[in-house]
Structure formats: structure tokens, C-alpha cells
């Protein structure tokens, strides 16, 4: 029978106390399957995704095995990124906070090595580090492996993807053969299995079922938007749902910088995170987000790997992820610890087909939602403000305020309703920004693919025009990337062209005064073919 409660294990009382403080009531599937086996001293290969509790799955047994009286290095955890190393170290400190005499040190590039060397000289039992920096210390002989009891490879597949295989094999060849080796990976490619065969002894393979890839309590929505309105739509969603902490994902570092600047310009407490930032900047941004000083963290997938913040209430895919699995990792960062979370994806044109692939991969439903109008946002903001007002009325002494308002009513002839309405407008600000969905004209069913509008143009083969002429004219006149233009069906005297729905109004308006090969055209939405 599988153990599900921490107290059922023969753990140090100090660890159990820390686990209780962290609010863990029972073990996650990967913890329940892994911890008892790791405690037995067996080698393990665990397949588990981010957010499944795998840090505690190897952290608790490692802390249990460490001798606080022995000041030598006894445990080594390798992580792919600095962010993950820091995160794992923090988790270890939480788990070991009542264990006196145990020192845990994260080592990673970007931090002064002299500082790390000073810490190492004072005696460290557990190191959590990136392969490159651990190798650096090996070359300097500032890390000694003689007394290591356990080595952990966390997110092993990602370390291999980042080119760390040679470093990992060098490190594993230098640690004592009489050690325990534990490896966790989201996937099980051939190189992972090769490392297991070479450096582990009869490892136990532990897998969590695939249904745990997505977070069940995460509501998933998508919105069809135009590139020029993405920023506005994101702002409206942030205002509508007002999440405590939000993660916004972009596909490029450039987009992270641009969006962060734009959000800050709109008055949001937003910070960006990507690989070009110096380590000091990355640490500052993450600390600010964890402490709640920053509400919105805009990040790339690589930079966000290892971010594990429980209070994230919403994830926004500002860009549709380039990889199906990235979507899983992204939305898995909300709805943690039994909380409900929301995931929103902004889809441009033909990206809707990519989203369908993601749905099939995740075996989940991502619901299409209408873009919130200004009135929708205003109504929600007003409701939330009035809820706060109601709470103040019920809990606070308002005698002085009532006296002040009564005097204004008597002096100026205002009504209490006038003053309340003015206060509400002052609190909510001016919502006069342009409507993001102003161009979302209902074209009806034109016979186009989902997310597209089929347009009729009164030029065809007999006028000596080619598909490239239509593509070039539309892209050139509107500035829309040519790759977004869909099917072009040519006939003798007319042509049908499919364009993304969000561009359709603009294309019709601009092309009415345009010419193709010197010929004036008539363009309009097609009837159902």
C-alpha cells in the first residue's frame, strides 16, 4: 500500500515540523512514489513535470541522510538554470529550517566566485548548483567530493538540451562510486536512459501519470486579436480579473522588453525577466515578484524555468508558445496548492491552428471568449470598488465623513448620489481608451477557415493577374505580413482571398482605393460558397 502521509514515514521530527509549517497535508503522487524508495538508498529515475512537488521528493530524503556534525560536502544537486538552483535552495532551507548545523549553498554563474569560495571554506553539507559553476569549483579544487552520499540531477532533460551532458558526466565520474544517484526529468529521451545505465545502479523507474501534465483547476481561455491590439486586450484582462500575481509569457527577449515598458507606461507594476539580464538584475526582479512588490512578471520560457511561486493567480500567453509542451509548463504555474487559476492566450490569425494542436496534446478544452469591451471592464471595476465600499460601511466608523458630506450637500446643493458618483469616477479613472474590438465587425459565414474572412475581388485570370499580385498588393498596402494571408482561389473573372478576421475591415477599407496591376478593384466580404 502506497504511503500518502508524511508522518507515516520514519522522518526526522525536525523535517516533519518543517513540512507541517509549509502546509503540506499529504504527499503529491511523485513524492508518495519516490520518497520511500530514495530513503531506502536506491537509485531512482523519476519522470515528473514542474509543479508536481519533485523538489521535496528528493530534498526530504537528502536532508534525512545528511549528518549535521560532519561539515564536509554530503549532497550535490545539479540544476539547469540559476533560477532553479536558487528556487531549490530556498525549498531546502524551508524543509531544513529546524535542523541545526546543516548549511545549504546555491552555486551558479553570474555571482562572484570569491563569495562562493568563502562560503565553501566555512563548511557546506549540501550544494545546489549549475553544472558549469560546479565544474569551475572542481577545477579550482574548492569543492571536494570525497564524502558525498547522494547526487541529484534535477530537470535532467533540460540540462542535456542546454548542452551540459559532458559536464554532468565529468562530475558523475568524479564523485565516489559508493553514492546514491537520483535523477528527475520531464521526459525520457535516449540520452537520459544512457546516463542512467552508465552512472546508476539498478535504478527504480518512477512515473507520474500523464494526466497530471495540466492543472485541473486551471480555467483556460483564448481571444482572437490583431497584433496592434494585443497590448490593449491584455490590459483589459488584467483590469477585469485583477489577479494578485500574474505571469505573462512572450516568445522573445525583445518582446519581453517592449511589453514590460508598455505595461509600466500604463501604470502597472510590471518587470521583465530574460537571459540577457545580469544576475543581480534577475535576482532583484524575482525577489520583487515573490514579495508582491511586482504584480506582473513578463518572461521568456527559458528565463521562467524553475520559477515556483504559489500565489500566481493568472498566466497570460501574450504569444502562443512555439512548443506544445511549453504551454503545459506555462499554465502549470498557476492554480498551485489547491487554488484555482486562470490561463489566457492571445491568438493572432492562423495561430488558432497552433492552438488546436496544443488542445489535442494537452487533451484539454481552451474556450474562445469575446474581447472585453470598455463597458465590461468599467462594470467589473465599479462592482469591485463598490464591494470595498460596502465593506467599509459595515466595518468602519464613518461619523466624521458623514458630517463633511452633509455640509457639502447644504452648501452646494449636491445630492449624496452626486458626491458618491464623483468619488467612484475619481477612484476608477478615465476609461476613454479606444476599443480594441472596434474592428471586430461581424462578417457572418464567408466560407473561410476558422479565424479567417473570405473576400471577393473582381479580378481574375483573364485580367492577367496572379496569386502573387494579390498577396503583394494586400501586404504592401496594409502592412500585414504576407504569411498571414490564407488561401487564394482564382477564377476567370474574380478571385477569393482569405485574410485573418481581425485584419478584414482594414483590408477592405484600404484596398478599395488601391490598384492591382494598374486596375481598380471592387472588394467585399464573400457570400457563403
Query: b/e string for 348-376 if b means 16 or more Cβ within 10 A?
Result: bbbbbebbeebbeebebebeeeebbebee
Has this prediction a pTM greater than 0.75? no
Determine the longest span between alpha carbons in the chain, in angstroms. Answer: 91
Within 8 A by CB and 6+ apart from 472, the residues are 482
Q: Are 273 and 304 in contact (CB under 8 A)?
A: yes
Task: Calculate mean pLDDT across residues 372-390.
Answer: 77
Q: What is the mean pLDDT of the chain?
A: 84
pLDDT digits (tens, 9 = 90+) for 316-337: 999 988 767 778 878 877 766 5
Q: Are 488 and 455 in contact (CB under 8 A)?
A: no
Report how far residue 10's alpha carbon sits from residue 136's, in angstroms, rounded to the nearest whole number: 37
pLDDT at position 186 is: 82
pLDDT digits (tens, 9 = 90+) for 350-369: 788 888 878 877 777 889 99
pLDDT digits (tens, 9 = 90+) for 245-304: 899 999 888 889 999 998 988 888 999 988 778 878 888 888 888 888 889 999 987 777
Identify the structural domains of the chain with CATH numbers, from first to last.
6-211 (3.40.50.300), 214-373 (3.40.50.300), 375-428 (no CATH), 452-525 (3.30.70.330)
Report how far residue 464's alpha carbon sits from residue 27's, in angstroms, rounded to the nearest whole number: 71
Pull the grid cell for residue 164. Answer: 551540459
Higher model confidence: residue 223 or residue 477?
Answer: 223
Give the bridge partners for 454, in sequence order.
Answer: 498
User: What is the DSSP secondary structure assignment for residue 40, as one 8-state letter?
Assistant: T
Higher model confidence: residue 135 or residue 391?
Answer: 135
Measured at the alpha carbon of residue 503, what is the angle toward residues 501 and 506, in degrees to the nearest 5? 130
Give which of 82, 14, 437 is closest to 274, Cα–Cα. 82
C-alpha dist (Å) from residue 409 to 213, 313, 392, 417: 60, 43, 21, 10
pLDDT digits (tens, 9 = 90+) for 199-242: 999 999 998 754 444 445 688 999 998 888 899 899 999 988 88
Give which of 137, 122, 125, 120 is closest to 171, Cα–Cα. 137
Amino acid at each position: 500500500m502506497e504511503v500518502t502521509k508524511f508522518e507515516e514515514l520514519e522522518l526526522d521530527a525536525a523535517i516533519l515540523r518543517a513540512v507541517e509549517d509549509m502546509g503540506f497535508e499529504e504527499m503529491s503522487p511523485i513524492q508518495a512514489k519516490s520518497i520511500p524508495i530514495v530513503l531506502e538508498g536506491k537509485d531512482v529515475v523519476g519522470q515528473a513535470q514542474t509543479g508536481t512537488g519533485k523538489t521535496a521528493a528528493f530534498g526530504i530524503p537528502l536532508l534525512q541522510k545528511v549528518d549535521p556534525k560532519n561539515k564536509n560536502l554530503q549532497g550535490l544537486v545539479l540544476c539547469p538554470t540559476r533560477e532553479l538552483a536558487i528556487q531549490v535552495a530556498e525549498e531546502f532551507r524551508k524543509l531544513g529550517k529546524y535542523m541545526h548545523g546543516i548549511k545549504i549553498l546555491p552555486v551558479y554563474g553570474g555571482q562572484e566566485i570569491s563569495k562562493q569560495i568563502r562560503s565553501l571554506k566555512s563548511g557546506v553539507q549540501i550544494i545546489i548548483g549549475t553544472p558549469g559553476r560546479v565544474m569551475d569549483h572542481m577545477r579550482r579544487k574548492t569543492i571536494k567530493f570525497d564524502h558525498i552520499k547522494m547526487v541529484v540531477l534535477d530537470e535532467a532533460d533540460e540540462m542535456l538540451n542546454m548542452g551540459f551532458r559532458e559536464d554532468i558526466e565529468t562530475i558523475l565520474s568524479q564523485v565516489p562510486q559508493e553514492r546514491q544517484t537520483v535523477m528527475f526529468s520531464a521526459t525520457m529521451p535516449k540520452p537520459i536512459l544512457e546516463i542512467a545505465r552508465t552512472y546508476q545502479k539498478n535504478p527504480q523507474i518512477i512515473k507520474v501519470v500523464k494526466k497530471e501534465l495540466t492543472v485541473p483547476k486551471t480555467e483556460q481561455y483564448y481571444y482572437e486579436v490583431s497584433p496592434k491590439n494585443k497590448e490593449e486586450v491584455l490590459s483589459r484582462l488584467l483590469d477585469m480579473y485583477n489577479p494578485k500575481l500574474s505571469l505573462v509569457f512572450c516568445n522573445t527577449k525583445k518582446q519581453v522588453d517592449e511589453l514590460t515598458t508598455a505595461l509600466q507606461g500604463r501604470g502597472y507594476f510590471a518587470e521583465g525577466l530574460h537571459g540577457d539580464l545580469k544576475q543581480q538584475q534577475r535576482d532583484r526582479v524575482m525577489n520583487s515578484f515573490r514579495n508582491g512588490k511586482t504584480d506582473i512578471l513578463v518572461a521568456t520560457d527559458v528565463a521562467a524555468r524553475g520559477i515556483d511561486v504559489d500565489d500566481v493567480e493568472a498566466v497570460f500567453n501574450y504569444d502562443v508558445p512555439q512548443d506544445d509542451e511549453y504551454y503545459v509548463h506555462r499554465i502549470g504555474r498557476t492554480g498551485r496548492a489547491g487554488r484555482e487559476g486562470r490561463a489566457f492566450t492571445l491568438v493572432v490569425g492562423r495561430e488558432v491552428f497552433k492552438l488546436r494542436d496544443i488542445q489535442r496534446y494537452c487533451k484539454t478544452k481552451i474556450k474562445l471568449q469575446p474581447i472585453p469591451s470598455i463597458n465590461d471592464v468599467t462594470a467589473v471595476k465599479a462592482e469591485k470598488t463598490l464591494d470595498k465600499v460596502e465593506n467599509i460601511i459595515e466595518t468602519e466608523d464613518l461619523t466624521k465623513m458623514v458630517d463633511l458630506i452633509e455640509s457639502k450637500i447644504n452648501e452646494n446643493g449636491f445630492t449624496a448620489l452626486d458626491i458618491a458618483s464623483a468619488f467612484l469616477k475619481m477612484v476608477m479613472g478615465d476609461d476613454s481608451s479606444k476599443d480594441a474590438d472596434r474592428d471586430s465587425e461581424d462578417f457572418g459565414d464567408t466560407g473561410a477557415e476558422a479565424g479567417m474572412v473570405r473576400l471577393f475581388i473582381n479580378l481574375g485570370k483573364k485580367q492577367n493577374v496572379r496569386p502573387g499580385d494579390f498577396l503583394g498588393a494586400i501586404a504592401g498596402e496594409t502592412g500585414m505580413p504576407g504569411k498571414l494571408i490564407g488561401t487564394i482561389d482564382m477564377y476567370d473573372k474574380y478571385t477569393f482571398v482569405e485574410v485573418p478576421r481581425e485584419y478584414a475591415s482594414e483590408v477592405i477599407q484600404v484596398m478599395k482605393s488601391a490598384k492591382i496591376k494598374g486596375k481598380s478593384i471592387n472588394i467585399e466580404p464573400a457570400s457563403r460558397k
